[in-house]
């Protein structure tokens, strides 16, 4: 369950209570995730304590939240990549072929444009992901134009291949990076999918692509990834006389881009709304980032907008 303004989520484990073979009806019991919650007695009242956000819900408030949950539709989308390590291994031959050969793309298709045009709404909740190839200017001056173009095109191709496997779309390319989005209907699951996608992209770069680049006498590359979540408007940009396309405009897009620029090579940074809407297993590998006085962006509470970093062992 989620409130988009404050980024609120509760995690539950499910337990099958009964199954009716005649009707195919399954009854589930939702149990607060014990990795995140525990029941405590506070001032003589039984309360559910959230160990991640350090807040307590009285049993009465929790019952009200549970009643709301019972009336909410449940959306679930399974990612197509079950094992990131195996996926990276399977892509190595294709990556090596792209680096070695001059492959020409003969067909062009913009699935993001088709998706955005199909929407009846002009505003939607998204997770925005910005990916940047760090140090691309230095790469462009140290490599000949053909070799640099091959490096960039191969990198962006491989990143773009991953995004739809987590039900995302590439919105646009930025020369040395891209902006992608993960839309509703399930705002909660989209945060988890975007996080999983970002981790898979990072693994592909550092455990797949870079090994091949080194073997083919190319320099290694670094990437930075920024994520943020929230509502944005879907509008047509540009003139039909030259170039016009559907775009996503809003604070969430700008913040995801700004968050990405604050990362060091190899970092995955997340805005507070994204982090708070992640499953417990993802939140457990995140930690707050101190961005200093030059970070002037505010959250809904008027305080500096919090940013978190994925911890890598």
Q: For the segment 212-226, what is each residue's pLDDT rounded down to a tens digit?
A: 999 999 999 999 999
Residue 247 pLDDT > 80, yes or no?
yes
Q: How confident is the model at residue 106, as a pLDDT?
A: 64
Average pLDDT across the chain, whole number? 89
Give the pLDDT of residue 76: 66
Q: Kindly state the tokens that stand for 132.
A: 């940047």
Residue of 151 and 102 predicted with greater confidence: 151
Per-residue confidence (pLDDT) for residue 1, from 0 to 100: 34
CA gyration radius, the chain: 22
Q: What is the average per-residue pLDDT within 97-108? A: 78
SS3 122: coil
Mean pLDDT for 112-140 is 93
The reported pLDDT for the residue numbered 293 is 84
Given a cut of 70, whether residue 45 has pLDDT beyond it is yes
Compute the distance between CA of residue 45 and CA of residue 59 in angstroms, rounded to an integer: 8
Query: Can you give the pLDDT at residue 6?
Result: 44
Residue 233 has pLDDT above 70, yes or no: yes
- The predicted-structure confidence for 56-95, as pLDDT tens digits, reads as follows 988 888 887 777 666 566 666 778 898 999 999 999 999 9
Higher-pLDDT residue of 14 and 216 is 216
Provide the b/e sequence for 23-56 (b: ≥16 CB within 10 Å).
Answer: eeeeeeeeebbeebbeeeeeeeeebbbbebeeee
Average pLDDT of the segment spanning 168-185: 94
Mean pLDDT of 162-180: 96
3-class secondary structure, 118: helix
In the chain, the percentage of residues whose pLDDT exceeds 70 is: 93
Model pLDDT, residue 5: 44
What integer pLDDT is reported at residue 194 of this predicted model? 97
Residue 260: is its pLDDT beyond 50? yes
Which pLDDT score is estimated for 74? 60
More confident residue, 79 or 233: 233
CATH class of 84-310: alpha beta
* Contact partners, residue 125, CB within 8 Å, separation at least 6: 4, 183, 184, 187, 190, 229, 230, 231
Which residues in the chain are classed under CATH 3.30.70.1230? 84-310
Residues 244, 236: contact at Cβ < 8 Å? Answer: yes
Query: Tell me, what's the pLDDT at 105?
Result: 64
For residue 243, the model assigns a pLDDT of 92
């Amino acid at each position: 369950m989620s409130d988009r303004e404050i980024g609120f989520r509760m995690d539950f484990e499910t337990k099958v209570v009964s199954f009716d073979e005649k009707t195919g009806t399954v009854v589930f019991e939702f149990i607060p995730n014990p990795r995140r919650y525990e029941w405590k007695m506070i001032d003589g009242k039984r309360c559910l304590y959230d160990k991640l956000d350090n807040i307590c819900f009285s049993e009465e408030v929790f019952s009200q939240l549970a009643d709301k949950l019972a009336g909410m539709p449940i959306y679930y989308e399974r990612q197509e990549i079950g094992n990131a390590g195996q996926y990276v291994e399977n892509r190595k031959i294709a990556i090596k072929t792209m680096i070695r050969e001059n492959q020409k793309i003969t067909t062009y298709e913009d699935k993001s444009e088709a998706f955005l045009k199909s929407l009846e709404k002009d505003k939607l909740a998204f997770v925005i992901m910005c990916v940047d190839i760090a140090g691309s200017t230095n790469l462009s001056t140290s490599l000949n134009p053909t070799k640099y173009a091959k490096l960039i095109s191969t990198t962006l191709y491989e990143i773009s291949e991953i995004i739809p496997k987590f039900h995302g779309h590439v919105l646009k390319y930025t020369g040395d990076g891209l902006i992608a989005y993960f839309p509703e209907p399930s705002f909660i699951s989209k945060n988890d999918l975007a996080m999983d996608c970002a981790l898979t992209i990072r693994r592909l770069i550092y455990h797949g692509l870079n090994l091949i680049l080194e073997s083919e006498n190319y320099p290694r590359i670094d990437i930075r990834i920024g994520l943020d979540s929230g509502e944005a408007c879907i509008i047509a940009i540009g003139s039909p006389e030259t170039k016009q396309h559907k775009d996503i405009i809003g604070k969430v897009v700008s913040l995801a881009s700004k968050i990405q620029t604050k990362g060091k090579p190899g970092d995955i940074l997340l805005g507070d709304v994204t982090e708070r809407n992640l499953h417990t297993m993802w939140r457990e590998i995140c930690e707050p980032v101190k961005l200093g006085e030059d970070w002037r962006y505010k959250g809904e509470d008027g305080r500096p907008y919090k940013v978190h970093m994925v911890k890598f062992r």
